[in-house]
Structure 1
Amino acid sequence: MIPQGYSDMLLSGIAMTVRLSLLSLLLSLAFGFLGALARLSASSLLRGLGGLYTTVIRSVPDLAIMLLVFYSLQMGLNRVTDFLVWEQIDIDPLGAGVITLGFIYGAYFTETFRGAFIAVPAGQMEAAHAFGLSRGQALRLVMFPQMMRFALPSLGNNWLILVKATALVSLIGLADVTKAAQDAGKGSGQLFLYLALAALFYLLVTTVSSILLALLVRRYNVGVREAQL
């Protein structure tokens, strides 16, 4: 039987992890999509910046980047407030966690989207333009649905890694499920129990995510299966 106070602490940590994961996913997708467009751009400057972003982020450990980004954001904000003679503004741990995770995993999503765009035959865009679609319409109505078929498996894998990486945010003061499990375990003297519950939570997220991913893959492969039949 889990004491009421500690169960509430664990549930609060679970809610925080879910919130952090979903917000970080949205930001990662945005970074990834823009990064992929930069990597595939006709501009050598944009291609260089996109390549530098993905190379640096994927070469440095997530923990080092998280601490670097978090403290850099706070130091930069402190300089701005000092210059404007304002009171110091402390960055919210949740906001800092979302920004750092989104920035880090945006690099991985960039390569996922880039590879998926390349996998779509170039003739698809030419056909879309031949039908009078603008570049934006062709990208949204023609390229995106086909690109997602190639991107989904890698996106799902990156999502699962991102969820597990949320455990790192406890180092910047965010009470996620891992930190809540540690605190509850130390306070109750049942550290193994609470860590096992946290592990079961991650297993549940992985299982549900895998099921949803399989449904999405089936959805985006409908036309392909019908064509093969």
Structure 2
Amino acid sequence: MFGDLALLSPFPPGWGATLLWGFWNSLQVAVGGFGFGLLLGIGGAFGKLYGGPVTRDLLACYTTIIRAVPELVLIVLLYYAGGDLLNAVLALVSLGPVDISGLVAGIFVIAVVQGAYSTEVLRGAIRAVPEGQLEAARAYGMSPFLMLRRITLPAMLPHAIPGLSNLWLIATKDTALLAVVGFAELTLATRQAAGTTKAYFLFFTAAGLLYLALTLGSNFLIRRIEKRARRGLTRMPA
């Protein structure tokens, strides 16, 4: 048993460094994908609520397709087709092809998936803002940007945090799906280590503990953020 634990050492012949590097890659993709997906979600939510008919229809197609197709299929499709499409566009403008790194492609794929779900979470949060607050802001002559910063964002944040926190945890787990396209994240690194040493239980348990540690740390930060966002709100009577 203790001899097997030596396989987790970060020094050869241990595979600990490989697992930690895979975990770092997973974390980078999750943070980047969630962040860019959140930006897509903000634009999509306001587009659905305040955009024209064409904008709303295009966004409805985007969110419907992404939420309907299994994420594994989307990852394979976007990972390979995204690079081909970009190089095809570059060829049309007489530019040479580019070699997209696995990290950038992984962030792009997760961001596209996250953007569709973030759009609906944020749209619901914006609609939860009491209309009376917005009418009062307009009556005071606030500009749209000032109303967004002083009224809409602070009021919608408590409604959006639970949904966004779930999306963040989903993003951390979706990175494991990138193993099917050969991206060196934690799951692929675990498979390589376990396949070489035949210590499957040891390495997959270690990977599970790394994911668990990430989840526990995320939950701690999310609770702090949610507590701060709800500061000053009046609690409804039981």
Instruction: Provide the TM-score with structure 1 as the length reference.
Output: 0.93
Amino acid at match of 1:29: L
Matched, 1:223 2:232: yes
Offset at residue 68 of structure 1 (A) = 1.3
Amino acid at match of 1:112: V
Matched, 1:11 2:30: no
C-alpha separation in 1, matches of 2:33 and 2:90: 27
CA RMSD in angstroms, aligned pairs only? 1.8
State which of 147, 154, 159 in structure 1 corresponds to 2:156. 147
The answer as to whether partners of 1:93 and 1:172 remain within 8 angstroms in 2 is no
Higher mean C-alpha displacement, 122-131 vs 17-26:
122-131
SS in 2 for 1:90: coil
Q: Which runs of 5 or more structure 2 residues have no equivalent in the other structure? A: 1-5
1:53 aligned partner: 62
Aligned residues: 228
Offset at residue 44 of structure 1 (A) = 1.3
Identity of counterpart residues, as a percentage?
A: 34
Amino acid at match of 2:229: Y
Offset at residue 130 of structure 1 (A) = 2.1
1:118 aligned partner: 127
1:166 aligned partner: 175
Offset at residue 48 of structure 1 (A) = 1.1
2:3 aligned partner: none
2:34 aligned partner: 25
Deviations 1:149-183 (A, max 9, x none): 10101111111111100101122221101111111
Matched, 1:206 2:211: no
Q: Which runs of 5 or more structure 1 residues have no equivalent in the other structure? A: none
C-alpha separation in 1, matches of 2:130 and 2:93: 53
C-alpha separation in 2, matches of 1:104 and 1:72: 15
**Moved segments of 4+, more than 3 Å:** 80-88, 225-228
SS in 2 for 1:40: helix
